[in-house]
């Protein structure tokens, strides 16, 4: 059975500590996919919620000291209970505060999957790459080598997204090429993707790389179909149709359209 079918069958509870921009979109996207979102950051409850969840997703998009503490508590609880843990290091590198926070998070907990744009991932592992706010800037370097180095350094799956997506555990590397440029015109499509990766990891049974590859492919195919169905209308219509497609894309449809290449 595909991981997508498993998500829809088991309706995994996904604990999100995320930013104020995307909380609603992420919750709706997870619901549309077939998962069960739980957005919660109170120190009094995050340890318990992480422990009872099937995956925990940490996102530093609008970070502050309270949220960082929430993430440390939830992340350590996820580690203690064997719950897959995703980190989206939004804007790492944009300020020294963000860079320091992401580095503290990866040092104090074992991440299962790190998902960000190229600049964010570079800055998490102390490499420089220009960044403009929360969007990747121009940079020079080999994205595949960077992803593999990050995966080995952090002992986790690393997903670097952009026009093409790199997914690696440091040994095996895939390129997923589905998607559509209009994804860059809707805020939170990266953040929702990180939450969707969490839902796939929740049903992965430890096959994190395989589940992440399928998540990226599924997400890109849903975006392509939504873009086709809203051609000429714009990001508002696309956003609504994209949520629809997170529900309607079946394993058969995404397998037929998925474009994945294994590099090593």
Task: Summarize the annotated binding site for substrate as residue ranges.
Answer: 39, 188
220 binds, among ligand TZP, ligand ATP, Mg ion, none (CB under 5 to 8 A by kind): ligand ATP
Residue 12 touches Mg ion, criterion: CB under 5 A = no
| CA-only gyration radius of the chain, Å | 17
Binding residue numbers: 39, 115, 161, 188
83/168 Cα distance (integer angstroms): 20
Q: Where are the alpha helices (DSSP H) in 11-132?
A: 23-33, 46-52, 65-80, 96-108, 118-124
Nearer to Mg ion, 136 or 149 (CB): 136
Each residue 145-174 as x (binds ligand ATP by CB under 6 A) or -, in order, gives: ----------------xxx-x---------
- Strand 13-17 vs strand 165-168: parallel, antiparallel, or unpaired? unpaired
Instruction: Give Cβ neighbours of residue 109 (< 8 Å, ≥ 6 apart).
Output: 72, 75, 76, 78, 79, 85
**Candidate ranges 38-46, 52-60, 168-176, 184-192; the one touching Mg ion (CB under 5 A):** 184-192
Exactly one of 11, 130, 177, 184 binds Mg ion (CB under 5 A); which one? 184
Exactly one of 126, 135, 141, 233 binds ligand ATP (CB under 6 A); which one? 135
Nearer to ligand ATP, 12 or 61 (CB): 61
Give helix then strand counts, H and E, for the chain. 11, 11
> What angle (nearest 5°) sits at the alpha carbon of residue 55, between those of residues 62 and 90?
25
Asked if 123 contacts 154 with a C-beta cutoff of 8 angstroms, the reply is no
* Residues in contact with Mg ion by the rule CB under 5 A: 90, 184, 190
- Catalog residues that contact ligand TZP under the rule CB under 6 A: 19, 21-22, 61-62, 90, 134, 187-191
């Amino acid at each position: 059975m595909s991981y997508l079918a498993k998500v829809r069958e088991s309706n995994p509870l996904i604990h999100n500590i995320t930013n104020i921009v995307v909380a609603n979109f992420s919750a709706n996207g997870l619901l549309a996919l077939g998962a069960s979102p739980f957005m919660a950051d109170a120190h009094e409850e995050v340890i318990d919620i992480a422990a009872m969840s099937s995956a925990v997703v940490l996102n530093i998009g609008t970070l502050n000291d309270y949220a960082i503490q929430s993430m440390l508590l939830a992340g350590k609880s996820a580690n203690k209970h064997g719950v897959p843990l995703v980190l989206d290091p939004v804007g790492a590198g944009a300020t020294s505060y963000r860079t320091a926070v992401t580095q503290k998070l990866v040092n104090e907990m074992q991440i299962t999957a790190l998902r960000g744009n190229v600049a964010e991932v570079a800055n998490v592992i102390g490499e420089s790459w220009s960044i403009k706010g929360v969007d990747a800037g121009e940079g020079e370097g080999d994205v595949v080598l960077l992803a593999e180095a990050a995966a080995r350094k952090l002992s986790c799956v690393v997903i670097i997204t952009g026009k093409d997506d790199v997914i690696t555990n440091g040994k095996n590397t895939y390129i997923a090429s589905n998607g559509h440029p209009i994804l860059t015109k809707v805020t939170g499509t990266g953040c929702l993707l990180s939450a969707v990766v969490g839902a796939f990891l929740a049903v992965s049974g430890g096959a994190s790389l395989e589940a992440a590859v399928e998540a990226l492919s599924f997400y890109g195919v849903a975006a392509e179909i939504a873009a086709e169905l809203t051609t000429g209308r714009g990001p508002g219509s696309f956003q609504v149709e994209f949520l629809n497609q997170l529900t309607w894309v079946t394993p058969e449809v995404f397998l037929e359209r998925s474009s994945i290449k294994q590099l090593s």
